[in-house]
Amino acid sequence: MDILIALYPGQGSQKPKMALDLYDASKQVRNLFALASDVSGLDLHHLLAEGSEEELKQTKATQLAVTLASRSAYLRLTELGFSFAAHSGFSLGELSAFAGGGILDDETLFSLVTKRAALMDEEARKIEEAQGKLGMAAIIGLDYATVEQALREAQIPGVYASNDNSATQVVIAGLQESITEGKEVLQAKGARRVIPLRVSGPFHTPFMEGATVPFSAFLETINFKEPQSLVISSVDGDVVGSAQQAKEHLAMQLAKPVRWTEAMKQLSAIAQRQHAQVSEVGFGTVLSGLWKNSSREIPCRNLGTEDAIWAYREEMKS
């Protein structure tokens, strides 16, 4: 079997019925669904089987469902004999990366996701009540430095560059009216498209600083283990070297931009050194698309469904 480097997607990759094929195929995955539902107090199988896209869009539901889909794919891969050289997750996916790297067990993982989602949702609601409608939008055709500088120079209050997705894709977040104003500025700078995202808050911006303090306090009550395998953080693209550093990164990421471009540079170098296959472990094609658009020499495979995992396994055997 190939050694894998796992990329775990974040909020926005959710879709009704995702991971149910893995649930049907694996007792381990069914047990994981039960554990996640018990910890969160939400019937996640019912949510994924019967819930609408609008229900899945709510922060608590989204974060739990996306994490469950990623961990289900990871469990299925390990069950079928695959091993992992490194882990990295986009925003929310960082928690799945910490679980893959041995820093978190599954009960702790879903406890953290539940708390994180509640605090982020509460903070977003407070801001929306006080300041108005919030949102996020993808900017296609510009890099992070250009977007950040353009917004700073335009002095538009309430909008920030929040996700450095690739050399040609950046996400901005904040007040909806400020995003609209920023759209015009960025189109004048050469942005080809501006795409509203299915996310319910201004995540990874200073708007979330109010959630950082209580989340940091909660993290200090949790037992993190030392990393058992390589984990690359999407906060700064660096190796997470200790349990304490993992806690610090999880707290920081709520109000700090996602630097996925930096993480991909590190992961590409690791893949080349270790002759590993890069894979998106979770539902959807967001991260494999970003990887492809970044012109990485090593391809990124989607291994988030039962069919995809079995097809790759059979390919490795032939």
108, part of any domain: yes
Looking at the structure, tell me whether residues 40 and 187 fall in a common domain.
no
Query: pLDDT digits over 17-58, tens only?
Result: 999 999 999 999 999 999 999 999 999 999 999 999 888 888
Final residue of a domain: which of 196, 223, 240?
A: 196
Domain range for residue 135?
Answer: 130-196
Together in a domain, 119 and 137: no
Say if residue 308 is in the same domain as residue 282: yes
Residues 114 and 152 in one domain: no
Catalytically annotated residue among 91, 162, 279, 294:
91
Residues 68 and 113 in one domain: yes
CB of 3 within 8 A of CB of 298?
A: no
What are the two backbone dihedrals, phi and then psi, of residue 139, each rounded to the nearest 5 degrees?
-105, 115
200 band by pLDDT with thresholds 50, 70 and 90: low
Is 233 among the residues known to form the active site?
A: no
CATH number of the domain that residue 158 is part of: 3.30.70.250
Domain check: are 288 and 260 in the same one?
yes
Confidence of residue 318 (pLDDT cuts 50, 70, 90): low
Question: Concatenated DSSP letters for 132-170?
Answer: --EEEEEEES--HHHHHHHHHHHT-TTEEEEEEEETTEE
Write out pLDDT tens, residues 117-172.
999 989 999 999 999 999 899 999 999 999 999 999 999 999 999 999 999 999 99
- The total of other beta-carbon atoms located within 10 Å of residue 1's CB is 13
Catalytic option among 204, 234, 249, 279? 204
Q: Are residues 98 and 147 in the same domain?
A: no
Domain identity same for 301 and 219 = yes
| Assigned domain for 201 exists | no
Question: Would you say residue 90 has pLDDT above 90?
Answer: yes
DSSP character at residue 239? B
Could you give the number of structural domains in the chain? 2
Q: Active site includes 46?
A: no
Mean pLDDT over each residue of the chain, to the nearest integer: 94
